[in-house]
Homo-oligomer: A and B are copies of this chain.
Amino acid sequence: MTQNRSGLELRSKISSLGTLELFLEEVVVPEPAPDELVIRIEAAPLNPSDIILLLGPADPSAIRQAGTVECPRAIATISPERLVGQKSRLDVALPVGNEGAGVVIKAGPDVQSLIGRTVAARGGGQGMYAQYRVLKAPDCLVLPEGASPRDGASAFINPLTVLGMVETMRREGHKALVHTAAASNVGQMLNRVCLADSIPLVNIVRSQAQTNLLRKMGARHVLDSTSPDFRPALIGALAETGATLAFDAIGGGTMAATILAAMEEVANAGSTTYSRYGSPKIDPDAAKRLRDRVAAELTTTFASHYTAEISLTEALSPDVIAAYSRLATGEKYLIVPNEKAHLSS
């Protein structure tokens, strides 16, 4: 019986005392199960999410070299307050690397035909920053002949994120998209897919340089959120494209609220009657069912309570205006147009 080969795997570990350690571990490559492939990993990208897992809350500038030339290590000290939220990973040597690609060098009896093929894969719980990985064949993407591991290294996360956005748009009945972080790798890929599939796309970026980059790719709607006319430009682009779905790749802050408010403004502008009540879509039968329920439950579920009743004349009185314009939670006034003054009587 021959000894199984071994290979290096990258590990990230944060100790409960607050030390981050990055190191390489030598691991014996297990025998593949009947449906498994042994892949020699040739290329694996450092995606932002990988870097978050790799470095944890450590300050990148605080990382220093340790270990030996044969056995290198990188370490950093993490202050106790930054350890909050890391509990689930403390003292565990985590594998890292969400995706990658390589060549099949050995395979279980059911999948022998894949030996020698180049495949891309997601690491799952295992981590692709490793010299060898054993993975189930159905979880791998067999690349076309001629495609290299470098071509396929990023075949999962960004492409499926982009196609997932487009698929979500179609399934939920939208006809155009908004994307923040539009100049990122994902953003550029989304532009190529949308151009190929004739999907209107509103790109939101954060600088003139990013605007130029996307324009050069052929993007039609590119909005710089640092520009003073960002909001009217956004409303114009939403009106022209009809976009009612947005992916905010950045998160936090007020961008989500800004986009939602602009979409609502466009939806209202498109309605034929003046309404500040948004843009519901409902068929006549469903509308009748809702109205019937309101009528039946008028004095129970849908009862309203009023702070005071006022006449038309009282509605013009400065004191009364000051009262009803406060819009205090739970307060509401009722105009009774065919009655005489109430409050002063």
Contact of A45 among B188, B299, B304 (CB under 8 A): B304
Residues of chain B within 8 A (CB-CB) of A254 are 252-254, 257
A251 near B256 (CB under 8 angstroms)? Answer: no
CA distance A73 to B42 in the complex (A): 81
Interface assignment of A83: CB less than 8 Å from any CB of chain B: no
Residues A80-120 near B (CB distance < 8 A): 97-98, 100, 102
Max count, chain B CB within 10 A of own CB: residue among A124, A293, A306? A306
CA distance A73 to B325 in the complex (A): 17
Interface assignment of A143: CB less than 8 Å from any CB of chain B: yes
Known: A254-B253, A301-B189, A325-B55. A46 touches B334 (CB 8 A): yes
CB-nearest residue of chain B relative to A314?
B72
A129 near B298 (CB under 8 angstroms)? Answer: no
CB-nearest residue of chain B relative to A149?
B336
Interface assignment of A16: CB less than 8 Å from any CB of chain B: no
Q: How far is the CB of A261 from chain B (nearest CB, A)?
A: 6
Interface stretch, picked from A29-37, A219-227, A237-245, A315-323, is A315-323
Known: A185-B330, A257-B257, A322-B61. A294 touches B160 (CB 8 A): yes
Interface assignment of A338: CB less than 8 Å from any CB of chain B: yes
A312 near B129 (CB under 8 angstroms)? Answer: yes
Known: A125-B273, A164-B280, A277-B161. A45 touches B334 (CB 8 A): yes
Residues of chain B within 8 A (CB-CB) of A24 are 312-313, 316
Q: How far is the CB of A70 from chain B (nearest CB, A)?
A: 10
Query: Chain A 237-281, CB within 8 Å of chain B: the 1/0 string?
Result: 000000000001001111111001100000000000111110010
B129 near A46 (CB under 8 angstroms)? Answer: no
Contact of A298 among B74, B151, B162, B337 (CB under 8 A): B151
A159 near B302 (CB under 8 angstroms)? Answer: yes
Query: Chain A 162-205, CB within 8 Å of chain B: the 1/0 string?
Result: 11100110001000000001011100110011001000000000
A290 near B257 (CB under 8 angstroms)? Answer: no
Residues of chain B within 8 A (CB-CB) of A318 are 63-65, 74
Residues of chain B within 8 A (CB-CB) of A1 are none
CB-nearest residue of chain B relative to A304?
B154
Known: A64-B318, A124-B273, A274-B125. A163 touches B334 (CB 8 A): no
Residues of chain B within 8 A (CB-CB) of A44 are 334-335, 337
Interface assignment of A343: CB less than 8 Å from any CB of chain B: no
Q: How far is the CB of A103 from chain B (nearest CB, A)?
A: 9
| 27 contacts across the A-B interface (CB closer than 8 A) | A10-B315, A24-B312, A43-B309, A45-B304, A45-B333, A45-B335, A46-B332, A46-B333, A48-B327, A49-B277, A51-B327, A55-B321, A60-B321, A74-B316, A74-B317, A74-B321, A98-B277, A150-B334, A151-B298, A159-B301, A160-B294, A172-B172, A181-B329, A192-B300, A193-B301, A253-B257, A256-B260
Knowing that A42-B336, A131-B312 touch, tell me 8 more A-B residue pairs with CB under 8 angstroms: A43-B309, A55-B325, A60-B325, A63-B322, A150-B334, A153-B304, A185-B330, A252-B254
